[in-house]
Amino acid sequence: MSLTDGSTRIEKQIADRALEYVLHPPTGSDPVVDFAAPGDLLAVFDEAVSIDMADVVQPAPDSALMEAVELVLKHSMHTSHPRFLNQNFAGPDPVSVVGDWLGAALNTTGATFEAAPVFTLIENALLKKLGRVAGYRVDDEPSAIPPGLFCPGGSTATLYALQLARHRHQPDVVRVGAGPDRLVLFVSDAGHYAAVKSAALLGLGMDAVMKVASDPSGAMNTEALSAAVEHAQARGLTPFAVIATAGTTVTSAFDDINEVADICEAHGLWLHVDGCYGGSALFSPSQRHRLAGVERSDSFVWNLHKMMGMTQQCSALLVRDPHQLAPCFATGADYLFQPDKAHGEYDSGDRTFQCARRVDSLKLWLAWNHHGDAGFADRIDHAVAMADHARDVIRRSGGEFVQVVDGSFSNVVFAWVPEDLRPLASLDALDDSARDRMHLLPPAIKRHMQAEGTAMLGFQPIGGCNTFRLICMSSTVQTDDIDAVYRLISTYGGNVTSL
């Protein structure tokens, strides 16, 4: 540590610069990203502090570190920029950023009450509140086991949920390992790949995930689910769980949770709801109907770092029966979870896979108290209102843009149509050569946007043809920004097709 006084210490300089960025992130005509190819980035940093760590022998001077901090800021993606419409997360809530810093400053683990007395109570209170919002029956006794855990991301929480699901079906597996039964689970073909990775890690195998057809909007076809479960049983496989998706990644579609729950109850299957993305719709009185039936789920994963703008990561795994966590994860390490220590009944460590656990609950607790339930509802309503505006622009575009997937939530999936192909009723109307042309457009247009740093939005194939996906996750996005992004697509599209 340098021996300078507090006002010039490097950590204060970095903190001041970071806070300045949080309070005044790039906006308007500022670039969304100052994009550089990997080789160029490495070369730029060589002027200050090399990214490459091979020669870190002597400490870098403070001035060089500050130059490096500026380069980090300059060349990173500005997810707070109102034209960052690329993914289902975006610029963070500033209170959550500094809440994260405060948690880091206190650098502890959420594993035990002893090491995290305040955070343990905060986490418990938040899990109970989230459980109540989801309609779970929650035990309000302060010392009652909370209905879940905060996990490092939705994919990890999915792994936890499927471990719980298997445990209910085959309680011996945690001790003696998997038996000969071929366990299978079901998720729609629009569901997130976390299911497949979790199945691989659990030793079920990726093929244990049976993909159920979704309808054109991306919601699971529940008749196909019923048929798939019965077909699997007839083949001698052992269904044990279904994942209903509440907010699919690409089209923000919601599976009908009540219909899925009926099927799960009929077949004795664990119902897991992947609300990583759309779970936050529960905060909005006008949007929460999309998750009707979530209270019937056995587990529910909810990423507050997506729609709610908490810093990554902030994921809650909620479980209907919290007593199922310990049998899956407890090992009783007697140097940490001593039975004779004070308040050990508050320790969460024997209900989790992790040992050290970040205190992700602090930032959410601060932000939620700062905004209140009403502020959280507004954030969701704003995201949907911006998506409605984007859909409106498409309707009024005279055929320049077409909405490719019907939807009324936060994602807008659309195509830009070259002049000679207008009017285009749907992508299905394209012949092969026109489809091939259309397929190349979104990546080409995006490359221009990225290179000039004017905006960021996603693209993905739908029915084999690349289409744009616009998502307004940041509360800074306004209708003008959306209009500007459509104008940019139009300009770049015109330039690309005239080449």
C-beta of 158 vs 454, nearer to ligand PLP: 158
Structure tokens that stand for 140 in this block? 């309000």
Span 234-253, contacts to ligand PLP by CB under 6 A: 245, 247-249
- DSSP label of 424: -
Q: Is 476 in the site for ligand PLP (CB under 6 A)?
A: no
Q: Is 96 in the site for ligand PLP (CB under 6 A)?
A: no
User: What DSSP line would sit under 59-73, residue for residue?
Assistant: PPPHHHHHHHHHHHH
Minimum distance between the CB of residue 89 and ligand PLP, rounded to whole angstroms? 8
User: What DSSP line would sit under 62-106, residue for residue?
Assistant: HHHHHHHHHHHHHHS--TTSTTEESSS--SPPHHHHHHHHHHHHT
Strand partners, 457: 85
> Which residue sits closest to ligand PLP, CB atoms considered?
154
Locate all alpha helices (DSSP H) within 303-347, ordered by sequence.
325-329
C-beta of 82 vs 247, nearer to ligand PLP: 247
Q: How far is CA 115 from CA 110, 344, 358, 364, in A?
A: 7, 11, 12, 20
C-beta of 237 vs 292, nearer to ligand PLP: 292
Q: Is 88 in the site for ligand PLP (CB under 6 A)?
A: yes
Span 123-152, contacts to ligand PLP by CB under 6 A: none
Structure tokens that stand for 111 in this block? 């594993």
Q: Is the distance from CB of 379 to CB of 134 less than 8 angstroms?
A: no
Q: Which of 112, 155, 221, 476 binds ligand PLP (CB under 6 A)?
A: 155
Minimum distance between the CB of residue 246 and ligand PLP, rounded to whole angstroms? 8
Minimum distance between the CB of residue 373 and ligand PLP, rounded to whole angstroms? 23
Nearest to 234 by CA among 199, 184, 200: 184
Minimum distance between the CB of residue 339 and ligand PLP, rounded to whole angstroms? 34
Distance between CA atoms of 61 and 400, rounded to whole angstroms? 54
Q: Is 410 in the site for ligand PLP (CB under 6 A)?
A: no
Number of H helices, E strands in the chain: 14, 12
Q: Half-sphere exposure of residue 258, counting CA atoms within 13 Å on the CB side?
A: 5
Q: Which of 48, 122, 276, 387 binds ligand PLP (CB under 6 A)?
A: 276
For 413, residues 6+ apart whose C-beta sits below 8 A from its C-beta are 250, 251, 403, 404, 405, 407, 462, 467, 468, 469
C-beta of 120 vs 315, nearer to ligand PLP: 315
Minimum distance between the CB of residue 243 and ligand PLP, rounded to whole angstroms? 9
Q: Is 153 in the site for ligand PLP (CB under 6 A)?
A: yes
C-beta of 307 vs 427, nearer to ligand PLP: 307
C-beta of 112 vs 245, nearer to ligand PLP: 245
Structure tokens that stand for 260 in this block? 């899925």
Q: Is the distance from CB of 63 to CB of 459 less than 8 angstroms?
A: no
Contacts with ligand PLP by CB under 6 A: the residue count is 16
Span 303-332, contacts to ligand PLP by CB under 6 A: 303, 313, 315
Which helix (H) or strand (E) segment is 119 a member of?
A: helix 117-134
Minimum distance between the CB of residue 93 and ligand PLP, rounded to whole angstroms? 17
Minimum distance between the CB of residue 155 and ligand PLP, rounded to whole angstroms? 3
Q: Amino acid letter at 325?
A: L
**Centroid of chain to Cα 267:** 30
Minimum distance between the CB of residue 279 and ligand PLP, rounded to whole angstroms? 9
Span 8-47, contacts to ligand PLP by CB under 6 A: none
Q: Is 112 in the site for ligand PLP (CB under 6 A)?
A: no
Minimum distance between the CB of residue 403 and ligand PLP, rounded to whole angstroms? 20
C-beta of 89 vs 492, nearer to ligand PLP: 89
Q: How far is CA 440 from CA 179, 215, 360, 437, 464, in A?
A: 48, 25, 41, 5, 11
C-beta of 163 vs 313, nearer to ligand PLP: 313
Q: Which residues in this chain contact ligand PLP in the complex, by CB under 6 A?
A: 88, 153-155, 192, 194, 245, 247-249, 274, 276-277, 303, 313, 315
